[in-house]
Chains A and B, each alone.
Chain A
Amino acid sequence: MPSSAELDALRLSLEVALRSVAFSLPFAVLIAWLLTRARFPGRMLFDAFVHLPLVLPPVAVGYVLLILFGVRGPIGGWLRAHFGIELAFTTAGAALATAVMTFPLLVRAIRLSLENVDRGLEEAARTLGASPLDRFVSITLPLMLPGILAGAVTAFSAGLGEFGAVITFASNVPGVTRTLPLALYTAMQSPTGDALALRLALLSFALGLSGLLAAELLVRRVRRLLGP
């Protein structure tokens, strides 16, 4: 029998993961494009920087976010003063922390699909009168779609379980930032939480598995639609 704590955690995890993917997708496409097509000094360093969350302790990422986006941080303070947006200890903050952590996954998938786009097709579009932006929207982007979708679903699935960065930056507030892994951790700390912890663990397991399967099926389907 699912308790309200479980449902809250599930709903929050889905919301946080969805918001993080929706927010980071356009940036990921832009950065994947820069890393694949643009030539600029310091590209390698930039590439490494984008991939940093993969190798850093998530707590360190959360800590840096707290410094930058905290209420008194340089970006956080500015956002609060001008837009009234508060990120630390909020659901939006949890989504931001998740977005940063899953960003490399998204960029990698999109970048791979962009590398596989036949430049010859863009040249053909060029001889047919398509401007650079037109070519990107009408040819490149549709051909990247399988990679973008795969990246989005993978990042979403990973985002459901982001722990370290979320708890550091957004804390563990029930109903606000207590996502599935945080609820699981809390239950494990409680002397009577064993049953709840097991149910939450199983739920995470099921969500992760269905996410990965959905990604694979989606990619296959879109590939078939797009042709070789």
Chain B
Amino acid sequence: MLKVAVVRKRPEFTLEASFAAPTPGITAVFGRSGSGKTTLVNMISGLLAPDAGEVRLDDEVLTDSRAGIAVPAERRRIGYVFQDARLFPHLTVAGNLRYGEKRARAALQVIGFDEVVSLLGLAQLLERRPRQLSGGERQRVSLGRALLSQPRLLLLDEPLASIDAARREEVLPYLEALRDRFAIPMVYVSHQFDEVLRLATHLVLLDGGRMLAEGPVSELSLRPELQSIVGPDLVGAVLEGVVTRVDPEHGSADLTVGRGTVQVSVRGAPVGSRVRLQILARDVILAAQPVQGLSVRNAIASTVTAISNDDYGQVLVRLDVGGETVLARITHHAQKALNLRTGDAVWTLVKAVSTRGHAFRITPAGV
């Protein structure tokens, strides 16, 4: 468990956050630019001292302002992948990778050089200089360098932010592989919700230096605090399910979620694997009666549990669908036409392709 409770006050900016992140597992620190995400991870790393507060990692106190404890960053064994990679320009890729490895105590060496090189696809780059690498390659080297320092915790500060969107796939699968291969807990800073969905199990929400909420991703996906940050189009329930049947030819699969089954479009998830999917509220259709002759693959009997006006002039309907909560966003006109009230029985319709296009694999260890 990573426990953080810190305050840092500056005339222009105050940061206050306290949360407990499960270890192992990936905790996303999510918020807009300037919300204090980097300041927060810098205090975890020890590069920055809080005015007051404490940081504990698995019962070891790293910072405790009251007891006057502040373990220096170089002795925390916390790896840090910076947004701008920060590779040493006077060393080769191999030299960069070895830098932390050489300084880690031999007794603690569990992550091997060859393993990291093959896992991150660095074999062809070892003799190169950092300036000869692409943005994605740089971040992979930076990731490998941090891993080889044998960290107990890995901090990743928007590692994909300086890479153009098309090239993120050069790094993201490696992050997933890393999460699945090593049980190193990670704190992943991001302002891209799709990265959070794909990687994280736990979520810490920051806004303007204040912590709005923390908890499991699926739980927080239903909270209005998250909705106000991601905006109306990305609001939607995050569900986790198990694959019960795959149709590789058509790229679809049946998932058991709660007590029900949904058909989703997903590739590369074998039977029995756990999958995470987000059902966007704007993609959910509600019907007062059972419908026929539609292309929609999922039509599930459900109950309206809450109705609220959202911040964008629409109506957000919370539904109980087979024991799981799903959000639907409809217009006032639609609500009036259906005469929807809390407690009503409705049919929830979700297109199989509307599960954000792809599902998100999550590790057994991380769940």
With A127-B74, A128-B145, A128-B146 given, is the CB distance from A120 to B82 under 8 Å?
yes
In the assembly, what is the distance between CA of A228 and CA of B84, in Å? 14
Q: In the complex, are the beta carbons of A121 and B74 less than 8 A apart? A: no
Q: In the complex, are the beta carbons of B74 and A226 less than 8 A apart? A: no
Does residue A124 face the partner (Cβ distance < 8 Å to B)? yes
Most chain B CB atoms below 10 A, which of A126, A127, A225: A127
Q: In the complex, are the beta carbons of A226 and B89 less than 8 A apart? A: yes
Closest Cβ–Cβ distance, residue A145 to chain B (whole Å): 8
Does residue A143 face the partner (Cβ distance < 8 Å to B)? yes
Closest Cβ–Cβ distance, residue B362 to chain A (whole Å): 27
In the assembly, what is the distance between CA of A129 and CA of B150, in Å? 10
With A124-B82, A143-B90, A227-B89 given, is the CB distance from A129 to B130 under 8 Å?
no
Q: In the complex, are the beta carbons of B82 and A129 less than 8 A apart? A: no
In the assembly, what is the distance between CA of A120 and CA of B157, in Å? 13
Closest Cβ–Cβ distance, residue A57 to chain B (whole Å): 42
Q: In the complex, are the beta carbons of A228 and B131 less than 8 A apart? A: yes
Most chain B CB atoms below 10 A, which of A120, A126, A139, A226: A126
Q: In the complex, are the beta carbons of A227 and B90 less than 8 A apart? A: yes
Residues of B within 8 A of A129 (CB): 74-75, 77, 100, 103-104, 149
Q: List B residues 93-113 near A (Cβ within 8 Å).
A: 99-100, 103-104
Closest Cβ–Cβ distance, residue A36 to chain B (whole Å): 19
Residues of A within 8 A of B88 (CB): 121, 124-125, 139
Does residue A131 face the partner (Cβ distance < 8 Å to B)? yes
Does residue A73 face the partner (Cβ distance < 8 Å to B)? no
Does residue B43 face the partner (Cβ distance < 8 Å to A)? no
Does residue A123 face the partner (Cβ distance < 8 Å to B)? yes
Does residue A142 face the partner (Cβ distance < 8 Å to B)? yes
In the assembly, what is the distance between CA of A215 and CA of B134, in Å? 32
Residues of A within 8 A of B47 (CB): 123, 126-127
Closest Cβ–Cβ distance, residue A56 to chain B (whole Å): 38
As a 0/1 sequence over residues 65 to 88 of chain B, the CB contacts with chain A under 8 angstroms (1 = contact) are 000000011111111101010101
Q: List B residues 205-238 near A (Cβ within 8 Å).
A: none
Q: How many residues of B contact A (CB 8 A)?
A: 27
Does residue B63 face the partner (Cβ distance < 8 Å to A)? no
Q: List A residues 109-155 near B (Cβ within 8 Å).
A: 118, 120-121, 123-131, 134, 138-139, 142-143
Q: How large is the interface on A (under 10, 10 to 19, 20 to 34, 35 or more residues)?
A: 20 to 34
Which residue of the partner chain, among B77, B86, B89, B129, contacts A123 with CB atoms under 8 Å? B86
Does residue B355 face the partner (Cβ distance < 8 Å to A)? no
In the assembly, what is the distance between CA of A91 and CA of B73, in Å? 49
Q: In the complex, are the beta carbons of B104 and A120 less than 8 A apart? A: no
Which residue of the partner chain, among A118, A130, A226, contacts B103 with CB atoms under 8 Å? A130
Does residue B45 face the partner (Cβ distance < 8 Å to A)? yes
Residues of A within 8 A of B76 (CB): 127
Which residue of the partner chain, among A127, A131, A226, contacts B146 with CB atoms under 8 Å? A127
Closest Cβ–Cβ distance, residue B108 to chain A (whole Å): 10
Residues of A within 8 A of B45 (CB): 127
In the assembly, what is the distance between CA of A93 and CA of B136, in Å? 57
Residues of A within 8 A of B130 (CB): 227
CB-nearest residue of chain B to A118 = B86
Q: In the complex, are the beta carbons of A127 and B90 less than 8 A apart? A: no
Residues of A within 8 A of B131 (CB): 227-228
Closest Cβ–Cβ distance, residue B131 to chain A (whole Å): 4
As a 0/1 sequence over residues 151 to 186 of chain A, the CB contacts with chain B under 8 angstroms (1 = contact) are 000000000000000000000000000000000000
With A139-B88, A226-B89 given, is the CB distance from A126 to B82 under 8 Å?
no
Residues of B within 8 A of A123 (CB): 47, 73, 82, 86
In the assembly, what is the distance between CA of A225 and CA of B89, in Å? 9
CB-nearest residue of chain B to A123 = B47
Residues of B within 8 A of A228 (CB): 89, 131
Residues of A within 8 A of B73 (CB): 123, 126-127
Residues of A within 8 A of B82 (CB): 120, 123-124
Q: In the complex, are the beta carbons of A143 and B89 less than 8 A apart? A: yes
Q: List B residues 111-149 near A (Cβ within 8 Å).
A: 129-131, 145-146, 149
Q: In the complex, are the beta carbons of B89 and A127 less than 8 A apart? A: no
CB-nearest residue of chain B to A142 = B90
13 of the cross-chain contacts (CB-CB < 8 Å) are A123-B82, A123-B86, A124-B86, A126-B72, A126-B74, A127-B45, A127-B74, A127-B80, A128-B103, A130-B99, A227-B89, A227-B130, A227-B131
Q: A120-B84, A124-B80, A126-B47 are in contact. List 5 more A-B contacts (CB 8 A).
A: A126-B73, A129-B103, A129-B149, A227-B129, A228-B89
